[in-house]
Each structure stands twice: as C-alpha cells, then as structure tokens.
A and B are shown apart, each in its own frame.
Chain A
Amino acid sequence: MIVTRSWLEEYIDLSDISDETLLKRFNEIGLEVDSYKRYEIPEKVVVGEIVGCSKHPDADKLNVCQVNVGGEVVQIVCGAANVVEAKWVAVAMVGSVLPGDFKIKKAKLRGVESLGMICSSSELGLPELEDGIMILDGSIGELEAGKELNSYPKFADSVVEVELTANRGDAWSIRGVARDLSAALKKKLNSFGYEPTRRSPIGVAKELSVSSDDIPARLIYSICSIDRLKTNFLERLRLAYIGLNIENEIDRVLRYARHESGVVNRAYNFDSLAEDGKVSLDVKLNSNSSVEVLSNGRLISVVGVSQEDEFRATDNSKKVLLECSYIKPDFVVDNVSKNGLDSDDLYYFSSRGSEPDVEYGLDVLQRAICANGDVEFSSGDVKVGDKISPKKIAIKIKDLIDIIGDDIAINEVSNILKSLGYGVNAIDNDTFSLEIPPHAHDVVNIQDVAEEILRIYGIDNIKAKPSVVIEKCRLTDTYKEFKDLRDLRDRAVGVGYFEAMTYAFANKELLQRYGFEVLDESLELLNPIVKELNTLRTTILVNLLEAANRNVKYGKKSIKLFESGVVFNSKREESKRVAFIYSGEESRASVVNSATSKVVDLDSFVKSLGGVVGEFNLLECEPKNSLMHPYISADIVKDGKSIGYLSKLHPSVADEFDLKDTYIAEFDLESVLPKHINAEPLSNYQAVNKDLSVVVDKSLTFYSIAKVIQEFKESENILRDFFPLDIYSDESLGDKKSLTIRFTLQSDETTLNDEQIEGVMGRVLEVLNSNFGAELR
C-alpha cells in the first residue's frame, strides 16, 4: 500500500509530524515501511503562465512561448507538442539546477533566445505523468505565476510504501491508513462528505430499478451523464506517485477513488444495459453462492470478483452507472475457491475485506469524477443489501491485561479502541462490551482486540517480564540424539571431514541411473521446483558426489565431506543416515612427503571412518548400487550387525563426476550413535602376545576366520583379542596363502604359564583346521 503525505492530510492533520516520526509510527503500529521517498522540486522552478505561443520560424517541432514567471514575461523555446494546450506550466528558470546536475542557462535554439525550460515531470525527478510537458491546474493549490513549485505541499510530496499483512484489509486505503494513524497519533480523523456540483432534477429511480435477494453484500448505485471526463493534475500526479500509469480516464477515476476510500467500485456503460432508457438490475445469490448482478437476464458482474467487459464503461460512454460494493470476505473467498472462479484485480481487495461503507465510497468516487470533469448526476442513489452491523463481544479487562502481560490503564484501553472506531461500553468495573466496527472484519475475539491495543499502545511501552518456570527435566530423547549426533559430527571434523548440508531433494533420473530406490509413483512430489530436485532423496551419497564435483570445479584436490540427515524409502518413510565421501589427495605434495602427494586408499578411508564411528569389521558384499566398486566394497559390521556400507567409487561413476580415486560410505545414523557401556574388570596380570601362522585357501576372507575365532573366544576366557598381522603368498604355496594372526592372551587370576598358552593356541589351530583345513605353516 502506497500513501502520500498530502493525501493522508486530507483525513488527518500531520502538520506537526515529521516524516521520520511518521515512518517510525508506521512500523510501530504494524504497517511495516518498505520504502520511502521524499520528492523535492529544485529551487528556481516556478509556476509559469503561458501568455503567448507561436511556431519557431526555423523549426517545425519547436514553439516559442512567452511565459509569465511572476513580475516578468520571459521567452522560452519548447519542444513538447502539448505546450500549445498549456496554460500553467513548471518553468525551470535560468540558474536552476535540475536532477542529474542539469544546469539551466540562457540559450539560443535555432537562432531564437530561450530563457529557461518548460519542464516535464521526469525532468523534475518526478514519476512520468504524460507525454510532453507537465500541464498544471488548480488542484495542487492556487496557481500563482512565479511561485516556487516546492512550496506546494501537494506537489512536493513524501511517498511511503507500507507492507500490509493478510489480515489488514482495513488499511488498503488512504483513509484506512489515516484511521490507524489517528489512533496512534491521538489526532482526529476528518469526516468526509461530498455533494456533486451538478444534480439533474430527475430522480435515479426513473432510470434504474434494482431488486435483490437476501445477500451477504451491500451495493450502492448512482448514475451520471458525462459531457467531459478528465482527471485533474493532482489525481494524475498521485496515481503516478503510487506507481500507476493508467491509460483511460474512467479507470483512473475509479482507481483513484478506490485507493482513497478502500471501497470496491465499478462503472458500467448505461446505454449498453438500458432498455427504453431504463436499466433494471437483479442482484441474485446464485446456487453456487456467487452474488451476481444481472441486467435483463444478462450477467454483468459477480460482486467482489469480476465484471463482464461488454458492459464496462469506457471514456466514450455518455452515461455511466456507478457501483460501489462490499461483500463479506470469508464468503467470497470460499466461493471463488470452491467454484474456481476467474477473478479480476479487485478480488484481491474484496477477499481481504474492503471498506464496507459503500455510501462513503460513492461520495469519494463522485468527487473524483467531478474534480475536473463536466458531469451531471441523477438525484439520489439506489442501495441493496443490509448495512453490515457491528459484531458485539464482551471482554474482561483482566483477561486483556493477562494476554499483554503489562498493566495498561482502563481508560487508555478504552480510548485506543474508540479511536479505532470501536463502540466501547462498560458493563461493570471489569467488563467491557465492544462493538467491533465493520471494517475490522478480522477481529473476532479478545486476542484480536489485544493486538489492536498492543499496536497502538506500542510494544516499546510494554515492560518485558521473564517467565517464572517450574523446574522440570526437559531433556528429551530428541535432545539426546542431537547431543550424540553433535559428538559424532565433532569426531568427523576431528579426522578432517567438512560438514555438508544439501537438499533433501534429489534428481530422480540420477537415483535410478545409479540403482537407488525411488518414491512410489503415487507418493511422488507433484510440483517440484526444478528437474534436478524432482524427488526426495533415498541416499545422501548422490548429493555428496554432486558437491564433490562442484569442489573439483573450484579447484579442490582433496575432498572430504560428510552429511547427516533424513533420507526416504520408496514408501516415503523417513530414516536418518550419515554419509561420507573422501576423494583425491589424502595429503598434498610438500616437503613432508618429498613432494609426492598421497592419494586416498582403502586403509586411510577406513581409519578415518573408525575415528568417527569407532571399531567395526568389514564384510565382503554384493554391490547394492552402481556407485560401488564390485571388488572393493563391504558391509560395515558392528557387534555382528550391519550398520552401513563402504566402497571405492566405481571408476566409471568417478569419471562422470570428474573425480580421482574416491571412497564412499553411508551409515544408518542410529546404529553409529554411542550406546550404553558396561565396563569390564581389568586384569592385574601380564598379557602375552602369541602369533600363529597358518596356511589356508587363498579365497578365504579374514572375516570368515574371524567369525569362527570370535565364537571360539566365548569359551576361552584367557583369549582376549586377535587381529591379522601378516599375509603372504608365493608360488610354493600355490592356491594357498599364509596368514599370521596375532593373539593376545591374559588371565584375571594368574600369570599365564607355557602350558596354558600352548593349550589355547593348540585349540585355536584345531578349530581353524576343522573349519578351514588350516595347517600350521
């Protein structure tokens, strides 16, 4: 909503209010200031009266004007075509400086002396008004040749755009904003009344009959005959200030009046509707709940929604039927949405609650039409629909104070509400009966009233008061998960990973290409924003690969990223994962490594993951998707349970993402968060390491051996730990390999003797022999 200071001043006296105060108050009362511009006219730009105008002897397009600039008449050569129609103009005198540092000097144009410039609006730094020079009229104040234009307050105006929230239909007008200001500034809101200068003695009823159903709307009609319709300078200037450039006069007038009053208005071509010189209208509540205006069975408009072009008044209409209307916003919104009706730009206002005072709206419209036009109104008007009666609610002062939380004096509350148009009646000492004015259609309960008080009283004036809290442990499982996840993320950072944050969306085609599941068709996103984000992700890894690819483009040689977040399955169920990618150099070439960079390998990737999620085992697995290398990939197993997988990135995928050697892993988040730990007692006796070298089949994985030893370990309480120490194969071993395993043995009760040690080792060998045919090397 754009307002100008001088326009507001038609409703409220702002003479002692600076622009700065005005802006501050706007923000304080909930009309957020979006932009502000003060238009100043340069000095020595004055009102000029053209007293003579003749063609330039040597130039077709130039005119030589004699201009009274107060006390003297100067000659000015002007190139604008419309100067011939002009009487009053803006003259930049010699010595004035126009915007853009344009200095006006004495000049000769094709041999004719010119002492100044007749200005267009844009040359003065104003919004564009019309082609050619600006033609002034008395609408900005009494015109006096030689008077500085800057001294006309309606001319040099301040323009403020305020942002209106969806509940503030009441402020979509100059008067609506002025009404708020009057409450905030404790100033009177001027009343408005207008009587057209020319009324024909013919009563409107002779030319118009309107019948109506019981409708949730109110309409008023008036008829005017038009000899000439022309907006005045001020109307055009203000429309330009509020950013509108409207082609024809009738629409300018309607728009100007609507902006000022907030009342939805329309104009019809009387002759297109009339039969035998008379128009009859029928305002009906349609079975689809639209309120329709019909004329002889023809639909001419839907109240608050749209109008048929065929019957619309134009600048050529000789007689115009004017309509101002109000319809209840909830009603019209439901109706339009339910029936999918086409609506025009007035619907925006009727749906947010336009000004219900249609009589006032008609007054404003009539004044706008009469401002500069030659028109005659028929006597009287025709109204249909009931006046919107104020809603009544009773509120307890204590409840109101409790919502706000600060003591505001009762009479202060009462004054604020009265100044906003509320009827306030005390029922008893602590209860008010309120009549809510019809324009405040959004106000239905005590909290809405509290908002009105708070806005006008000023939040700045409310004393902040910390809550008193009853202590309670509020550390939820969600919080515990956040803390655990934070620890995990800190560990990832500690081993060199950067935390990425990518969209929960994915490119469906990519997911499918790499063999990931996708959402079932019936559960899919209906309105994705771009093709690259056209579904929900079912893995974090593809997002991380895309991020890695971007980093390659940024020139990064070592890329180490992780992300924790939500992924979805085909049923669109959510689960949380954490994914890692390690690509390119593990360390860059430098003095430290004799200028040879080291590229990441499985060992360093696995070690880095261990630094984040702790100890785990790897189990050879079938590739689950085509990101995985068929031979360098594994299930990640912890306590016998798979918690995720890792892989070298398939070289052809690496090529697609322009990556060097790359490793990826994705874990189920919950299974890598820390678990409760029960400590085991420590032994006071020395531990012994014993190495066992056995010959087994080459294809035998360590994991299968480990599983067997693990099981065996349960029955041997002095066998504490084991890990693969060395692996060896040569021709003499054929399709066998030699595997050395180191065992750690310890007892809680005694220092181990040779017999105990050899006993365990013997039994290990037996187990390995019976399971895998392992022979001592």
Chain B
Amino acid sequence: MEELESKINSCTNLDELELIRVEIFGKKGVLSKEFAKLKDIPAKEKKDFAKSLNDKKVALNEVFEKHKNKLEKIALEAKLESEKIDVSLYGYEANKGALHPVKDMMDRIIDYFVALNFSVESGPLVENDFNNFEALNLPKNHPAREMQDTFFFGDGRMLRTHTSPVQIRTMLDSKPPIRMIAPGAVFRRDYDLTHTPMFHQIEGLVVGEKGEVSFANLKAILTDFLHHMFGDVDVRFRPSFFPFTEPSAEVDISCMFCKGKGCKVCSHTGWLEVLGSGVVDPNVFKAVGYEDVSGYAFGLGIERFAMLLHGVPDLRSLFDGDIRLLEQFR
C-alpha cells in the first residue's frame, strides 16, 4: 500500500501519472487483481476483506487525485510561463480617429440649448435676398450690408452670410412662442489669416408675447451659457449695432490666456469678443407678419469658440483635414 502511494507521489509529470493510474486502477491493475481474490475468500471473511480493499482503493484514489491536481497546476504554470510576452511592446497604435473640434463644439453648444428647451432648426445654404437681408432689416443700399461681403449667383441668389435667415424661415413656418437655435455653415467673401470664406455659426431666437421677452432674459442666458462653455470667466456686454436687433450688444469674455491682463490673443485688451446679441428689431417681426410679440436673438462663430477653448492658433488649419491637428483630439 505504502509502496503504491510513494509510486504515485514520485511521478513528476502527468504522462508518468497516467501510466501509474493504469498500473494501479486499470482493468489489469493491482487493485483489480486484489478484487479478483475476493471470489476465493471464505464467505465469513469476505465482507471484511472487501471493506478493507475498498477503503484502500478510496485512500489510494485520494492520493492519486491530490497528486494529479498538483501536477496539473505545475503544468498550467509552465504553460502560462511559456506564453510570456513583453507587453510593453504593444499599445503604440490606437485604431481610433477623432471628431473635428469645430463640429464637436457645435454638438456641445446644441446640447446646452436643447437642455434649455430650444429646438434645433435648419435651412438651405443658398438663400434669397429676402431671407438673408431684406427681412432682417437690411434693406438694399443699407451701409450695414457692406459689413458682410456676399457671394452671389447668376440668378440673384446668394450663399447665406449668416444663419439668421433660418430665423426668418422658422418664423414664417410657425407661430410664437419660439425657442430655436440654427447651427450651420455660412459664407463671406473674405480670405486671409483670420478669415475663411466659409465658417460656422449658431443662431438663437426666442419669441414670446409682447412684454414677455426682454434684454434682461438675454443677459441671463448668455451669461450662463458662456460660463457653461468657458468656466470661470468674466462676461461683459457692450452696446453695439446689428440691423436685426435693437438694442444690440456684443458679448466679451475675459481672456483665458492672460487672465485679463492683456496678451496677443486678446490684442492686449484682456477681453475676447465671442457673441453678438440683442432684442429683435420690430422691422424683423413686421417682415414675417408677427404682431404684439417680443423677442431676443443671438449668434456666435463656432470656429472662434473651438479655437479659444482648445487653443488652436490657426483658423485656416481647421479646414485642411490636417491629421496632425485632428489626432490631438483623439
């Protein structure tokens, strides 16, 4: 018995153990031979003999299983060790692209206004004079038309110079109250270091009953919006002029690069202009046939937001599909 036990335990691998298993537990094994003796044992002793033999078998089996487990563990360890590789050689190539920072910025701005129950509206890039100028209180010959150098087509249409025509389309198509934004591409005939002939804007318009929507409301939402986008910055409203709003204001934030001290980015003023806004001019409402209403509107350039927020120095690089720029946003 002890001899068999030590035989099992002396096995150093699973193949040897298998041979021993056959030798002990197999059909022609030691135990089978012992059980075969049972038939020659007198009936009186038969029971005791059988019991003792069974006990031995159970004990041996236990020894066998234990040793087998041990050897399996060793074999697994060896297998695992053989699979060892230098993991630090991997991981240099991520199969992931990146969203364009301007488009991503647009999405983030949309998210903010949708959360404040604004609808998202859209319109065509090729517009007519009424939607792009006339209805926005920019009659022909108005000096303010010069502010926006326009691309014209042979049939008198034009590429929209701002997203404001979507205001007009939305007002013509629906009734107040209106809470809408219109994101999209706009076009101006300007091409230099700080201007591209196409860029993106988001326009906002809120219309309610007369006396319901005020400049104070505009101040509240834009201040909150700019804090949401730029964090802890100072917000400044400056009276300004836009043909489609009156009173109008431009909105500045304190320069995040110099903390308002003055640097190249803010032209040493400490402030960065980021938004145009105002109370909707009554002539705009008149053009769309609205009466007894009040409203505010605002607009911003998305490229400018993206450049300021991510510190992108060159506007034109945003239109190049330059992977060196894009992969930084991975």
Contacts and interface: CB of A to CB of B under 8 A. Distances in A.
Nearest to A546: B321
B125 A504 contact: yes
Contacts of B142: 166, 333
11 contacts: A27-B238, A463-B216, A479-B119, A482-B183, A486-B107, A501-B100, A501-B321, A502-B321, A525-B152, A572-B126, A590-B92
Interface stretch (A191-199, A451-459, A722-730): A451-459
B114 A450 contact: no
Interface stretch (A265-273, A551-559, A740-748): A551-559
Which 4 A-B pairs give the minimum distances between C-beta atoms? A405-B214, A405-B216, A547-B321, A30-B239
Given A29-B239, A590-B92, A465 B294 contact: no
Contact of B97 (A398, A492, A544): A492
Nearest to B122: A478
Contacts of B208: 467
A556 B240 contact: no
Given A467-B217, A574-B126, A475 B143 contact: no
Contacts of B219: 405, 459, 462, 464-465
A450 to B, nearest CB: 5
A482 B110 contact: yes
Contacts of A529: 151, 189-191, 197
B153 A526 contact: yes
Contact of B322 (A403, A454, A550): A550
A404 B98 contact: no
B93 A588 contact: yes
B319 interface: yes
Contacts of A454: 215, 239, 247, 249
A338 B140 CA distance: 10
Interface of A: 27-30, 32-33, 165-168, 333-334, 337-338, 351-352, 398-399, 402-406, 445, 447-448, 450-451, 454-455, 459-460, 462-467, 469-472, 474-476, 478-479, 482, 486, 489-490, 492-505, 521-530, 533, 543-544, 547-548, 550-551, 554, 556, 559-563, 565-566, 568, 572, 574, 587-588, 590-592
B260 interface: no
A166 B250 CA distance: 14
B96 interface: yes
Given A338-B141, A479-B110, A587-B93, 18 more contacts: A166-B146, A403-B214, A403-B279, A405-B216, A462-B215, A463-B216, A466-B224, A467-B220, A469-B179, A493-B98, A501-B321, A504-B187, A522-B155, A526-B151, A526-B152, A530-B191, A572-B153, A592-B89
B231 interface: no
B289 interface: no
A94 B45 CA distance: 138
B117 A469 contact: yes
Given A167-B241, A493-B96, A590-B93, A467 B197 contact: no
Interface in B148-200: 151-155, 177, 179-180, 183, 185, 187, 189-191, 196-198
Nearest to A333: B141
B32 interface: no
Interface of B: 89-90, 92-93, 95-100, 102-103, 107, 110, 114, 116-122, 124-126, 140-144, 146-147, 151-155, 177, 179-180, 183, 185, 187, 189-191, 196-198, 206, 208, 210-211, 213-217, 219-221, 223-224, 236-241, 243, 246-250, 269, 279, 281-282, 294, 318-324, 326-327
Nearest to A533: B197
B117 A496 contact: no
Contacts of A559: 323
B320 A495 contact: no
Nearest to A27: B238
A521 B154 contact: yes
Contact of B155 (A352, A451, A496, A523): A523
B99 A337 contact: no
A501 B220 contact: no
B154 A523 contact: yes
Q: Describe A's contact surface by its main secondary structure.
A: mixed
A505 B326 contact: no
Q: Considering residues A168, A403, A505, which has the most beta carbons from chain B within 10 angstroms of its beta carbon?
A: A403
A551 B187 CA distance: 26
A592 B90 contact: yes
Contacts of A527: 151-152, 189
Contacts of A470: 177
Contact of B282 (A352, A445, A560, A588): A445
Contacts of B146: 166
A412 to B, nearest CB: 16
Q: Describe B's contact surface by its main secondary structure.
A: mixed
B216 A28 contact: no
A556 B239 contact: no
Given A405-B215, A459-B219, A590-B93, A448 B246 contact: yes
A496 B95 contact: yes
B197 A505 contact: yes
A563 B318 CA distance: 13
A587 B141 CA distance: 58
Nearest to B188: A529
Given A333-B143, A465-B220, A496-B97, A554 B324 contact: yes
B249 A459 contact: yes
Contacts of A499: 97-100, 103, 326
Contact of A574 (B93, B124, B154): B124
A452 B327 CA distance: 49
A402 B210 CA distance: 8
Contacts of A32: 238, 240, 250
A566 B125 contact: yes
Nearest to B95: A496
Contact of B144 (A166, A474, A476): A166
Contacts of B140: 337
Nearest to B180: A474
A471 B102 CA distance: 30
Given A499-B97, A566-B125, A574-B125, A475 B217 contact: no
Contact of B319 (A448, A496, A503, A574): A503
Contact of A406 (B103, B216, B247, B269): B216
Contacts of B321: 498, 500-502, 543-544, 547-548, 550-551, 561, 563
Nearest to B250: A32
Given A455-B239, A493-B97, A504 B294 contact: no
A547 B154 contact: no
Nearest to B198: A503
Nearest to A446: B282
Given A30-B239, A504-B198, A572-B126, A556 B323 contact: yes
A495 to B, nearest CB: 7
A459 B249 CA distance: 9
A528 B323 contact: no
Contacts of A563: 321
A503 B318 contact: no
A429 B127 CA distance: 47
Contacts of A404: 214-216, 247
Q: Considering residues A28, A447, A530, A547, which has the most beta carbons from chain B within 10 angstroms of its beta carbon?
A: A447
A568 B157 CA distance: 15
A29 B241 CA distance: 12
Nearest to A492: B97
Contact of A447 (B151, B237, B279): B279
B328 to A, nearest CB: 11
A525 B151 contact: yes
A402 B103 CA distance: 37
B268 to A, nearest CB: 9
B8 to A, nearest CB: 43
Q: Considering residues B141, B190, B246, which has the most beta carbons from chain A within 10 angstroms of its beta carbon?
A: B246
Given A451-B248, A467-B213, A474-B118, A459 B239 contact: yes
A762 to B, nearest CB: 44
B161 to A, nearest CB: 13
A455 B294 CA distance: 20
A2 B329 CA distance: 44
